[in-house]
Amino acid sequence: MQTVTFSRSTEQIQQISDETRILGVDTGGTFTDFVYYRRGQLTIHKVLSTPHAPEQAILQGIKELGLDKQLAQLAIVHGSTVATNAVLEKKGVKTVYVTNTGMADVLTIGRQARKELYNLCPKPESPPVPRSLCYELSCRVDARGKRLQTLNNNELQNLNDFIARQQPESIAINLLFSFLDEQDELRIEQSLKKAFPEMFLSRSSDVLPEYKEYERGMATWLNAWVGPRVQGYLRRLTEAIRPAQLAVMQSSGGTIAAEKAAEQAVRMLLSGPAGGLAGAKYIAGQNNNLLTFDMGGTSTDVALIEGELQLTSEGYIGDYPVAIPMVDMHTIGAGGGSIARVDEGGVLQVGPESAGASPGPACYGLGGRQATVTDANLILGRLSADAPLGGSLSLDKPAAEEVIGNLAKFLSLTIEETASGIIQVANEHMSRALRVMSIQRGIDPKTLVLLSFGGAGALHVCALADNLQMSHVIVPVHAGVLSAFGMVVAPHTRDLSHTINALLMESEQINEHLKALSDRGILELKSEGIDESRMTCHYSVDLRYVGQSYTLNVPWSETSEALTLASESFHSLHKKRYGHLHDQPVELVNIRVKVSAPPIILTLPELMPATNKPIVATQRMVYGIDDAVPVYHREQLKSSHQLIGPALITEQVSTTWLAPSWQCTVDGIGNLVLKKNTGT
């Protein structure tokens, strides 16, 4: 595929070492994106993903970029979908779950929440861990950390014998109240390491030292279940790119060394999408209140950014709760490759199934035989068969006409009407996701800026903004590869937590606990070669009223007024979120520490100002528009250029559909700022 290079001025280049070479890689369901930085230049590249072996696409991209001979000077930051796909496809490894006597069914029972509340005959589901792979030990501590039963050596030997018979690939250890006393878990881990030195071990007091045995157990089991898959993949990739350095994006929006990431697979479940949010925050600059919309080939991710990335410890991946801090995001199965079909009732449906990268949409010409959103955009004229997708993938319009024509016959519509219907259905799915992250949280979307990225997002963004009555949209520079760009500009981080469970006003030693966590995070970052002088620590606490089950996270300051400030922040946030306050004491549940080191300081190049010279544009017929619409090449646009819709703005990795009643202004670094025309 072709490469586009964005240069920067000499003054900007001097902010960064000439030897800094960073390659951001985002592996998606359809494309693998690359953003390469060196000496003030960003080089953009795409290749088709290879889902069966993701490293193959990465190696192909490195070779096509000409970096295969420069690996010794290269630092690679990777957003990996290996952990995510293993969970979603339920392709984890054989895992033994070790817990206390009587607690083997915790992961199966869960919170007894039902997917279908009024279904009296729900379909039975397999338990996460088969009963035959659960092993119980009689050791026990109580809710205050007091020892009730001691772990003896005979039990450890019996456990080793059980493991030898079962021959699993990994082991998850989750004991009651291990966040208060981890001695038993450490003894079990040491015994297993001695007997099975190659075994992948996951210990709850290391993975998630917090209360709630179900959520802690799920995180520990998920880490063990997919850990060997992630570990094997990262080892293969590390070996293939040696001697380049490899770091991995975490679900919380910061990077971690590949060696450590292999041990913490559960922290990579939103690896790629987190990179997109890091890139969105970096490029948006002073626009602090953003509703982000990332539409790729397989899925669409929606998130809210209010100043900083919003994290949650109540997220889900597929059917599984994940209490590890991750970007707060809502994901749906709607993307450019989403398959359209007519259901048994004769209704047009779109997604969540996707054609993926292979065979992909029919218009890719790779053997796809089902209609997709991309095929529909091609039929409507929003994509052109004359402009290769991603720089080299030629689109086959007759193939798209054939598969959408098959649907049109069922619906008794024209091909164009059917394609338009596919787009409308997909837009409604994505609008619903945007409402989940805004309206359903009590936030008026009209007060937010909609920031669109991903290879397919800009084709739909005006329609989505209209659906939510939003009037301000940003299509950022490098929108088609923003997740890969986010890998380049993401900070190095460690997110650590620990359960305290005490009344807030009685938590006098909280600073000591926070200091212990921050010291651990600093040591881990130092082991990756990061200078301690570059690190910062951010403290926060999870609070709730006594008697509540859920918490709210508020900042914590190391001052004499810390307790009062935290309490006031909690009351204010509770009032904002739920509309009321309680006359109850406030309880401190968890303490949290984020240790981070800033990324490279990368200033994007400023565009030349627009002149009076008219912009050269071709024309194309677009369905629903009477006259041919102008087609602009984004790289030809200059700062302050203004365009009036309807129009198309094309680039190597994305296309923007500027709908009627919308106008576009190009800002100083090349972002497309879209606004609804006044009076429309």
Task: Check which CATH number belongs to the domain holding 150 and give it.
Answer: 3.40.50
Residue 618 resides in a domain: no
Residue 38 pLDDT > 80 = yes
> Rounded distance, CA 417 to CA 379, Å?
10
Q: Quick one: tokens of 207? A: 């993975």
Residue 635 resides in a domain: no
Alpha carbon 322 to chain centroid distance?
A: 13
406 contacts: CB under 8 Å, gap ≥ 6: 371
DSSP secondary structure letter of residue 510: H
Same domain, 464 and 501: no
Residue 317 resides in a domain: yes
Same domain, 101 and 78: no
Same domain, 670 and 586: no
- pLDDT tens for 599-621 read 777 777 778 887 777 777 899 99
Number of compact structural domains in the chain: 4
| Domain final residue pick, 210, 241, 268 | 268
Same domain, 523 and 428: no
Q: Which amino acid is at 397?
A: K
Same domain, 335 and 445: yes
Same domain, 331 and 369: yes
Q: Are 289 and 447 in contact (CB under 8 A)?
A: yes
- pLDDT tens for 529-579 read 889 999 999 999 999 999 998 899 999 988 888 999 999 999 999 998 888
Same domain, 363 and 448: yes
424 contacts: CB under 8 Å, gap ≥ 6: none
Confidence at residue 131, expressed as pLDDT on a 0 to 100 scale: 93
CATH number of the domain enclosing 532:
3.30.1490
Same domain, 304 and 385: yes
Q: Are 680 and 665 in contact (CB under 8 A)?
A: no
> Rounded distance, CA 331 to CA 460, Å?
16
Residue 313 resides in a domain: yes
For 18, the domain range is: 4-87+231-268
> Rounded distance, CA 532 to CA 41, Å?
28
Residue 579 resides in a domain: yes
Confidence grade of residue 430 (pLDDT, cut at 50, 70, 90) = very high
Same domain, 349 and 333: yes
- pLDDT tens for 193-226 read 999 999 999 999 999 999 999 999 999 999 999 9
| Domain final residue pick, 268, 294, 326 | 268
| Domain final residue pick, 597, 628, 656 | 597
Residue 188 resides in a domain: yes
Residue 399 pLDDT > 90 = yes
Same domain, 358 and 400: yes
Residue 614 resides in a domain: no
- pLDDT tens for 48-76 read 888 888 999 999 999 999 999 989 989 99
> Taking phi first (over 0 means left), then psi (-120 to 50 degrees means alpha), and beta for anything else, what does residue 14 get?
alpha
Same domain, 462 and 325: yes
Same domain, 414 and 309: yes
Confidence grade of residue 5 (pLDDT, cut at 50, 70, 90) = very low
Residue 424 resides in a domain: yes
- pLDDT tens for 482-522 read 889 999 999 999 999 999 988 887 766 888 899 999 999 99
